[in-house]
Amino acid sequence: RVAYVNGSFTPHLNAHVHIEDRGYQFADGVYEVCIVIDGRTYDFDGHYRRLERSLNELRMPAPMKRAPLEAVIRELLRRNRLRDALVYIQVTRGVAPRNHPFPPNGAEPVMVMTARRFNVSESDAKAAKGVKVISQPDIRWGRVDIKTVGLLPNVLAKQAAVEAGAAETFLVRDGVVTECSSSNAWIVDKSGVLITHPKGNHILGGITRETAIACAQELQLKVEERAFTLEEAKAATEAFMTSATSFVMPIVAIDDSRIGDGQPGPIAARLRNAYKNKACGN
Ligand code: PLP
């Protein structure tokens, strides 16, 4: 395997950054994850724009414009002989003697990229059965709209899911489901209205969430971006989550409550199909 580190392609095993990288010491960095299927990036426009936004929020310069970034991704895929891949992009503020404020003379941002095989049929098989989620308090900071590498609460929430035999965790803040540890949360009410938490400081504005909203509108489904409680979610007709790596993933149980008849719902299935068609090559 080959990784990209600050301008060079290097064997994955030897790819490394300095011990005083601010990403390592302060989680002072941002990242993106996007999917490539059959050599075509999914929703790349959105992912690139969000990367720019995250960098901007942390007052970090963008190390690369969109076209060269896409060229690096293509080359990374070529060198790894991948057609279907998960691409990880990370940018940290760079290397400097450990001190909380930004380095006074600036630092060279450190950009790394990796790619690994992505299995679409595995994801489709999972979606055909649906997944279980658990719930946990949302203990994250107040700016989770920035896609930073500071993910410890997300790690703990996902680990709790794994230990409970579930795929994801609904995060609950003040009784409201904000999102999941690495995806956005949705429910469908009795009238067939799709509900998902509004954008703001308490969720990461998912690129898949955005495209799914557009798909729902094209399917003439009504979408309400509003807060919903855990109780509402447990009583919903359908539930699902969205992310770059899971597309639209039906949820069949929340904690010990079965959702609908315990099978993936028809709306989630339609939306998943529509999403895969729309995101491809964007
Ligand atoms: N919410 C969180 C906390 C995430 O980490 C992610 C993706 O990793 C998402 C939502 C979904 O975002 P996207 O659809 O852009 O992958």
CA of 105 to the centre of ligand 1 (A): 33
This prediction's pTM: 0.97
Do 130 and 264 lie in one domain? The reply is: yes
Do 56 and 155 lie in one domain? The reply is: no
From 64, 96, 118, give the residue that closes a domain: 118
Do 98 and 189 lie in one domain? The reply is: no
Kindly tell me the sign of the dihedral angle through the C-alpha atoms of 253, 266, 172, 211. positive
pLDDT along the chain (282 residues), means of 10: 97 97 98 95 95 98 95 98 97 98 95 97 96 98 98 98 98 98 98 98 98 97 98 98 98 97 97 90 58
- What H or E segment, with its residue span, contains residue 91? strand 85-92
| ipTM confidence score | 0.99
Do 32 and 138 lie in one domain? The reply is: no
Q: Tell me the residue range of the domain where 266 lies.
A: 123-279
| Residues contacting 38, CB < 8 A, separation 6+ | 83, 84
Mutate to test the pocket of ligand 1, among 204, 209, 211, 247 (most ligand atoms within 8 A of CB): 204
What pLDDT sits at residue 108?
95
β-bridge mates for residue 223, sequence order: 194
What pLDDT sits at residue 10?
98
- What H or E segment, with its residue span, contains residue 90? strand 85-92
Beta strands in 140-212, from DSSP E residues, in sequence order? 168-173, 176-180, 184-188, 194-196
| Residues flanking ligand 1, CB < 6 Å | 33, 154, 179, 182-184, 204, 206-209, 242-244
Residue bearing tokens 């489904």? 221
CATH of the domain at 98: 3.30.470.10
What pLDDT sits at residue 142?
98
Residue closest via CA to ligand 1's atom 5 equals 182
Nearest Cα to Cα of residue 60 among 26, 13, 12: 26
What pLDDT sits at residue 77?
98
Do 98 and 164 lie in one domain? The reply is: no
